[in-house]
Chain A
């Protein structure tokens, strides 16, 4: 028994020692970076380390020499030393049997240790008092800033109000009538829909037209900044700083459900930004609630400052909540996460830990802003989380060792439990990371632009990935299609992104190419054009020489039948279905004698089809979106209409709800539509009812793609950005500004690679971009 407990002690001490060592080195780093109050913290770190060694050390140092009796005494020593003086005397009695030691010597040694211990403890007390004073100071500072902030926001409100009055007056003078309501000031396409929405769209009403133009301007500025190397990261950091000054929390702007991850993350960044002026999340939220109604317009602006939500490092955000060290925060966290162990720790935590962690986080932020790569941030964050966890261990050990009332064994038990928990955590992290390997964009993944495909002379209307190879095809308004192999790259100078040269140019269309489809095997590709033809292509090898001889066999057929532009094309097994501006939807079986299998025509009232997709979880069903903003599901065999996707309550206002794209969920009976009125809507294929509706972009949503597992949705919009959505809770995971505008169009298509972690976007600026 004695040996066992001794062994566990040893094991438990080891990670503590390691954690302590790494912890103190990190703190040292913080000191170098010039964060205030580090000296004291460093002292604490060192003390705590030696404290641990002291408490365990009585047992261990005595155990080294005796050999035979050592194991038994070791267990006694480790159990009893926690009792302080009492433990010491017990230890003394046990030691009497060893011949090498004299009783006075041991007594002296123990007394010496004891006094040293006391000395250190008093030192800790001093440090603690010092830090508490510092906390009080910081709290005062925060209060001061809060009042300043509320003052400023009030001033903004006042100015806003004045501006609105001024505008109204101007309007009256100019037109002689009262200005119309806010709704009427919005683009006409929005009028009808918003009021009669089924799902509440918690969209922020725009206060004026000029807001829209500001936003456009801002969007454009962002693009320019991105061009000269100002990445979104920097913009984000800056916007967060602004937000931290005004105390505006992002979460109230989020549409619908806000995941705690994002929320915590925002807090994290903001807190890290304000370096010491910590604003607990709760406070900020309260403030939000107060100013929310009147601040809506302002916030609408802030929203556009950049909300690249990264739901990473929730570890850190948890840590941060501990930093604030308030009880209500702990409560809040309990509701967020059911990790009881953490609550336990957070109650044990002293302000010292908070300070250390804060320094840690400052370090991270520095690394973050200097490196600019979120990828690195993730790594740092994970490392920091690990070291923070280790530190937590350490601190608990300190409290256990230093506190006379706590029985040492109890402390060890707690410690052991913690170690286990930490292991569980780290493995959880690892799992999460492994999960991203599948290319499904697990929530820790942040997509970054890697390849820019430039070779088209005009807007790229469509793009499609090869099902297996890192190969894609783009179709452009310049009448051509191009084949790209992402593994054949040219390093562009001075930039992280790689340029890819096209391998093959497909020429046959006599007008803009509008849509693409690819067979499931990836050897045949189909393209539909404004000329009304569907061309079939045998894909050349992805390793072909770009300047090889002309092979007429590549263009392997034309499907003629549509009399107007072919706008939608999708494949399933060996069949393709296309929709055209001539009002028909046609099912084809290419490379057969009679390729045209069937034609589906809807009633006149539905107008022309705009997009089409196979219903993925139901054989022989296709879903077609019509000008009337309805989708109709057909049975391809009978040609009959199976169900019509329409929301009864929306009937009144279908203008502007034009559907740009329809996609079917790969596994569930759900249809997703992208609308001109900036919404993405989700429909139940069985009942034909609207499941969910959300404002997804600032401008019409043009394109949609669902990943192969049906977990994530990618949307592109004329607002120049693509957004990645978690289909589970319908929240935006990431937003990327990707393309520039040509006329009033920006992004035409988005795509997921079926098996590799690539996403891509195609834009009116003639570029396609691939993100990894």
Chain B
């Protein structure tokens, strides 16, 4: 005997939930999400459903503020990059990779310090992710007042520009992994399609210039979306 038609699915991961059942619940349409974290929920739901469907994941819903959309995606990227960092930790040590490099062209300096420093690659990775976590959670740039009645509603322009520099730095983790720890990169990419999605993301929202995107990704898939120049 169900009550009315409003029987709700409770989307909860109760203690004891098996790993395979974690967050495995019926998708909830974005418009029905009344939580303040709706955009995050929505993005995670899409990724959970099919991480390879990059185009769908990056398609912004209607009536969505672009700043918030970019912000939430970048949060998700940084979060998932932790997975790559964990794998790199096992192989990339300060002795083997003394500098953060991708190709031999550049040495990247770690911006987490007062004066940018030539950190070893693994430190660069950690510091960049930690710094991004602080910045993206910063009450100053992304105050919680952007969480209004329905979701994080809008982000001020000056903060949106910060997103670009976070993207640039974070991307170097991909490139370092690709050029120096190819096996790890490939494993990770096969599982998450993260670099693929990231490249697509920064191209679509013009957060990085093309020439900086040095990790080759499957061309035909990125070529298909016509609006990638938008």
Residues in A lying within 8 Å of B, measured CB to CB: 180, 184-185, 188, 209, 220, 223-224, 227-228, 452, 454-458, 478-480, 492-493, 495, 499, 501-502, 505, 507-512, 514, 530-532, 546-547, 549-550, 552, 555, 564-565, 567-568, 579, 581-582, 607-611, 627, 658, 660-661, 676, 700, 718, 740-745, 764-766
Contact = CB atoms under 8 A, between A and B. Distances in A.
A457 to B, nearest CB: 4
A610 B126 contact: no
Chain B contact-residue range equals 35 or more
Contact of B94 (A549, A555, A700): A549
Contact of A627 (B16, B82, B130, B144): B16
Interface stretch (B3-11, B173-181, B212-220): B3-11
Nearest to B78: A457
Given A502-B130, A742-B35, A458 B79 contact: yes
Centre residue among A532, A608, A744 by max chain B CB count within 10 A: A744
B113 to A, nearest CB: 6
A493 B19 CA distance: 41
Contacts of A508: 86, 89
B30 interface: no
B159 interface: no
- By Cβ-Cβ distance, the 7 closest A-B pairs, closest first, are A457-B79, A743-B11, A610-B16, A610-B15, A454-B137, A581-B18, A567-B15
Given A549-B123, A745-B13, A220 B130 contact: no
Contacts of B15: 514, 567-568, 610-611, 660-661
A511 to B, nearest CB: 7
Given A492-B139, A495-B139, 8 more contacts: A180-B3, A227-B145, A228-B145, A457-B79, A493-B140, A547-B110, A550-B89, A609-B16
Contacts of B53: none
Contacts of A532: 19
Given A505-B130, A740-B35, A765-B37, A209 B19 contact: no
Given A502-B130, A549-B94, A658-B14, A743 B76 contact: no
* Most chain A beta carbons < 10 A, residue from B10, B13, B18: B13
B139 A742 contact: no
Contacts of B110: 547
B112 interface: yes
Nearest to A565: B19
B131 to A, nearest CB: 8
A371 to B, nearest CB: 23
9 contacts: A209-B6, A455-B134, A457-B136, A492-B140, A505-B130, A547-B113, A547-B130, A567-B17, A765-B37
Interface of B: 1, 3-4, 6, 10-19, 22, 25, 28, 34-37, 40-41, 75-76, 78-79, 82-83, 85-86, 89, 93-94, 110, 112-113, 119-120, 122-123, 126-127, 129-131, 133-134, 136-140, 144-145, 147-149
B36 A478 contact: no
A507 B85 contact: yes
Given A227-B145, A741-B36, A742-B37, A550 B122 contact: yes
Given A209-B6, A227-B144, A740-B36, A499 B19 contact: no
Contacts of B75: 457
B78 A565 contact: no
Tell me the dominant secondary structure on chain A's binding face: loop
Given A180-B3, A479-B83, A454 B36 contact: no
A529 to B, nearest CB: 9
B94 A550 contact: yes
B34 to A, nearest CB: 7
A723 to B, nearest CB: 19
Nearest to B126: A550
B133 A505 contact: yes
Contacts of A455: 133-134, 137
Contacts of A495: 139
A608 B19 CA distance: 13
B149 A224 contact: yes
A204 to B, nearest CB: 19
B126 A505 contact: yes
Contact of A511 (B1, B19, B140): B19
B19 A743 contact: no
A558 to B, nearest CB: 12
B144 to A, nearest CB: 6
Contacts of A223: 36
B90 to A, nearest CB: 9
Nearest to B128: A547
Nearest to B11: A743
Nearest to A507: B86
A764 B133 CA distance: 17
A551 B12 CA distance: 36
Contacts of B17: 565, 567, 581
